[in-house]
Amino acid sequence: MFERHVLDNDVRVITAQQDVQSATALVMFGAGSRNEERHQSGIAHFAEHMFFKGTERRPHARDISVEIDGIGGEFNAFTGKEYTGYYVKCAAEHLSLAVDVLSDMLLHSRFDAEEIEREKGVILEEMNMYHDMPVSYIQNVYDQLFWGDHPLGWDIIGHEDVIRGADRDLFMGFLDRWYTGNRTVVGLAGKVDPAVIEQVDEQFQAIPASTPGSALRADRSQSGPQVRVHRKGSDQAHLSLGVPALSSLDDDRYALNVLNAILGGGMSSRLFVEVRERLGLCYYVRSSPHAYTDAGTLVVQAGVDIDRIELAIEVIQRELFRVLEEAPPQEEVDKARNYLKGHLVLRVEDPRGLAMFGVTEEAVRNRLLEPEESLARLDAVTRDDVVRVAREVLRTDLLNLAVIGPFEDDARFADLVGAGAASVSR
């Protein structure tokens, strides 16, 4: 499905033709918040905002947005811990303009001092918004607990002092180091005119030359269960309960994904049925693997009744570790596999989803994985694989619990972590 070529400056260009009337241009840099040093914390995300604030040809943010609005396009960006991306999805006839806007933004943004000062207020209000949303902020509390004082444990949005003190030199120091050819992937998906591919080659040849180096490794150790409480007055408690898991490069990640789907992937998953449907302890409960190139974690998240949070923690642990005592039946493994395959097929039918799939594999994992290959790897997962990975990952002594709610300290929950699974043999 994908075609790939590499420019002289090591920028990789991948293309996927689809029989549709739309197209997506997506530029991803294989660098995100984990590439920051402490004095740069939040600058990857802040830079994402600043690329929309004006270039020499399009001096103001409105000059950029008017062009994309004028073609009815979808226009956005995102910052993760290992990547940052910028995209336009539009009618195929306007893809050339979309590529021109993206290349202009990413190569010629001014980072004007007045715009930087103005945008600081936007970032700080975004920070306040997330802090006031426990359903979102609970992941930050968990990451701080799990990763500790490491860039993976820092908030993507950064530290307030860094944001307030940011200037053009701080941005340029980060971007010159990480926004380089060897970390840049341009993806085109949908109905793509060959002339647009030539345009990409010409315009993105100007990305600076490659630089060596990599992010700080995620070397962590844990000697027993850990708990962290973020005290906040609320009518609902939010929790994240997780264990160390596999990296995004581990061959067993497909088996882990099937295990995750069994546990918390959808409305028929074990956690949803038990915690919400049978006991009515929550509105939402889900699980997901958070995988990075050198480490990972499997996390259950839920919003629960404050007065019944202890019961919720016990039940979640019981459901997690029950898979070690009673191996999931074959039909449950098959259902979980089909759940994942169905989601992948739906995702890559859309040009933006297809571009995101290919570009992320290329930018973060340095390989171009075809959707068909991913489907085949899911098909290859056996029931024994799921059980084996479950026994490797699900360890009561390595549990981590983060909680947001009106609780005084960690002591209320310290004895619960691990106890909810104590009767399960391993």
d(CA 207, CA 179): 8
| pLDDT reported for residue 411 | 86
Query: Phi and psi of 213, rounded to 5°?
Result: 115, 165
Alpha helices in 159-294 (DSSP H): 160-165, 168-178, 194-203, 253-264, 270-271
Rounded to whole angstroms, what are the CA distances from 33 to 57, 87, 220, 390? 29, 19, 18, 30
Please report the sign of the dihedral spanned by the C-alpha atoms of residue 146, residue 147, residue 148, residue 154: negative
Count CA within 13 A, CB hemisphere, residue 226.
19
Which of the residues in the chain have pLDDT under 50? Answer: 422-426
| pLDDT reported for residue 171 | 98
Task: Enter the tokens of residue 321.
Answer: 């570790």
Which residues contact residue 286 at a Cβ distance below 8 angstroms, ignoring those fewer than 6 apart? 264, 265, 271, 272, 300, 301, 302
Report all structural domains of the chain as residue ranges with CATH numbers, in order of start.
2-206 (3.30.830.10), 226-421 (3.30.830.10)
pLDDT digits (tens, 9 = 90+) for 353-412: 999 999 999 999 999 999 999 999 999 999 999 999 999 999 999 999 999 999 988 888
Relative to beta strand 84-91, strand 2-6 is unpaired
Q: What is the pTM of this model?
A: 0.94
d(CA 145, CA 152): 11
End-to-end CA distance of the chain: 43
Relative to beta strand 296-304, strand 282-291 is antiparallel
Residues assigned a catalytic role: 48
DSSP 9: T
Task: Enter the tokens of residue 63.
Answer: 């000059």
d(CA 124, CA 42): 11
Residue with tokens 């098959």, as numbered in its chain: 334
Closest CA to 289 of 276, 281, 301, 298: 298
d(CA 120, CA 109): 17
DSSP 244: E
| pLDDT reported for residue 420 | 57
Helix (H, G, I), strand (E, B) or coil at 237: strand
d(CA 193, CA 174): 34
d(CA 326, CA 262): 13
Task: Enter the tokens of residue 264.
Answer: 């918390």
d(CA 238, CA 134): 7
What's the longest Cα–Cα distance across the chain? 67
Residue with tokens 């260009």, as numbered in its chain: 13
b/e map of 378-417 (b: 16 or more CB within 10 Å)? beebebebbbebbeebbbbebbbbbbbbebeeeeebeebb
Closest CA to 45 of 12, 86, 75: 86
Task: Enter the tokens of residue 100.
Answer: 């021109």
| pLDDT reported for residue 209 | 86
Q: Report the residue count for the chain.
A: 426
